[in-house]
Amino acid sequence: MAKEDKFDVVIVGAGITGAIAAKELTEQGFSVLILEAGAGKSFKFEDYQTYLDNYYTSTVRTPNAPFPATAGAPQPLITDQLGIENGIPQFAEGSYFHQVGPSTYQSTYTRQMGGTTLHWLGTCLRMLPSDFSEKTLYNSGKDWPINYYDLMPYYRAAELEIGVSADVDEQAFLGIEFEPSYVYPMNKVPQSYSDLKLQEWTKYAQFKYDGTSYDYSVVSVPQGRNSTPNPAYNNGKGYVPVGAVGNPDIGQRCEGNAACVPICSVQENTMH
Ligand SMILES: Cc1cc2nc3c(=O)[nH]c(=O)nc-3n(C[C@H](O)[C@H](O)[C@H](O)COP(=O)(O)OP(=O)(O)OC[C@H]3O[C@@H](n4cnc5c(N)ncnc54)[C@H](O)[C@@H]3O)c2cc1C
């Protein structure tokens, strides 16, 4: 419980958005209160272990399996979604979602301190410049009032905050540009054997769409997972990876446990 009763800013929700907003505001001297509806664990690593135990003992390992809902903050479950019958989405009895449209939201979110990034995939793609002008380019959807270049400094800030692992040369495709000396905070996560095989097999293959042939290009995805820090980051100042909450000596590197969705065994891909 907060000691004061007056704050400059009150933020509702302790997910990544609320947490970063709070961090920015407190760094500038504002007092901030965050209200979170979901259960809150302390930031001790032992408490994180209870999430892991929930996951290990779950019969169905869905994204929210490690993070059980509390009575005051129910949350959706993948297993509640039973498909669509005669154009009507079906949900299990007692399901959190009540959706009636033909195109339903098929995912979840997490109502816990930490929010949905507790179990996100860590995929940190930038949008393509063309995504912002779909109406002009393809006569489809709407043009955005901002463009890729307006967002570039914010992508950079987010990639620092998350500690993204990727290779700039590999990500500079379909018009994506980076500032001349930019590198991601961490080197790209090495590709798996099957990734490399797929890359090899599709090297000379093409696919046809609407009468035109296109080359395949298999690239890895920028990841919010700790690989090895890139010493060239920030004009050679480097990047210091962030370890687990409450125990920074672990979680500084991805250990390849392959359970990162929904929960990393060493807490290196959840937002800190
Ligand atoms: C399975 C899955 C995988 C994903 N993978 C990726 C990915 O790879 N890359 C990517 O970029 N994005 C991914 N996302 C999306 C990403 O996780 C979310 O966009 C992001 O976490 C949203 O952050 P947020 O802070 O805005 O909201 P949330 O993280 O949802 O946080 C909102 C918080 O507010 C609290 N809250 C809500 N209402 C109230 C209230 N009335 N009072 C108090 N508290 C309240 C909730 O309990 C919650 O803690 C994924 C999402 C899912 C579900």
Kindly report, residue by residue over 69-122, the tens digit of the pLDDT. Answer: 888 899 998 888 888 888 778 888 888 888 777 777 878 899 998 899 888 889
Would you say residue 126 lies in a domain?
Answer: yes
Tell me, in angstroms, the distance from the centre of ligand 1 to residue 253's CA: 24
Mean pLDDT of the chain: 90
Position 260 confidence tier, pLDDT thresholds 50, 70, 90: confident
Q: What is the residue with the minimal CA distance to atom 34 of ligand 1?
A: 13
Tell me, in angstroms, the distance from the centre of ligand 1 to residue 169's CA: 30
Position 269 confidence tier, pLDDT thresholds 50, 70, 90: low
Would you say residue 130 lies in a domain?
Answer: yes
What is the domain count for the chain? 2
Same domain assignment for residues 183 and 222: yes
* Ligand 1 neighbours by CB, cut-off 6 Å: 12-18, 35-38, 63, 73, 107-109, 111-112, 115-117, 119-123
Same domain assignment for residues 126 and 105: no
Question: Any idea what the Cα angle at residue 115 is, between residues 66 and 156, rounded to 5°?
Answer: 120
Q: Which domain does 192 fall in, by range?
A: 122-241
Q: What is the residue with the minimal CA distance to atom 26 of ligand 1?
A: 17
Same domain assignment for residues 212 and 151: yes
Calculate mean pLDDT across residues 192-206: 91
Same domain assignment for residues 84 and 127: no
Residue where a domain terminates, one of 87, 109, 131: 109
Would you say residue 259 lies in a domain?
Answer: no
Position 138 confidence tier, pLDDT thresholds 50, 70, 90: very high
Residue where a domain terminates, one of 109, 133, 161: 109
3-state SS, residue 68: coil
Q: Comparing C-alpha atoms, which of 155, 62, 164, 72 is closest to residue 109?
A: 62
Kindly report, residue by residue over 40-61, the tens digit of the pLDDT. Answer: 767 688 888 899 999 999 998 8
**Torsions phi, psi for 250 (to 5 deg):** -115, 160
Same domain assignment for residues 105 and 168: no
**Would you state the pLDDT for residue 151?**
97
**Would you state the pLDDT for residue 172?**
96
Q: What is the residue with the minimal CA distance to atom 27 of ligand 1?
A: 15
Ligand 1 atom with least separation from CA of 114: 49
Would you say residue 138 lies in a domain?
Answer: yes
CB 229 within 8 A of CB 186: yes
**Could you tell me the CA-to-CA distances from 263 to 55, 57, 211, 266 in Å, in that order?**
8, 13, 43, 9
Same domain assignment for residues 102 and 131: no
Same domain assignment for residues 161 and 196: yes
Q: Comparing C-alpha atoms, which of 188, 177, 182 is closest to residue 232?
A: 182
Residue matched to tokens 């993204």: 164
Residue matched to tokens 């929904």: 262
Would you say residue 228 lies in a domain?
Answer: yes
Kindly report, residue by residue over 223-259, the tens digit of the pLDDT. Answer: 999 999 999 999 999 999 988 888 888 889 998 887 8
Q: Which of 34, 62, 111, 116 to mutate to test the pocket of ligand 1 (most atoms within 8 A of CB)?
A: 116
Would you say residue 269 lies in a domain?
Answer: no
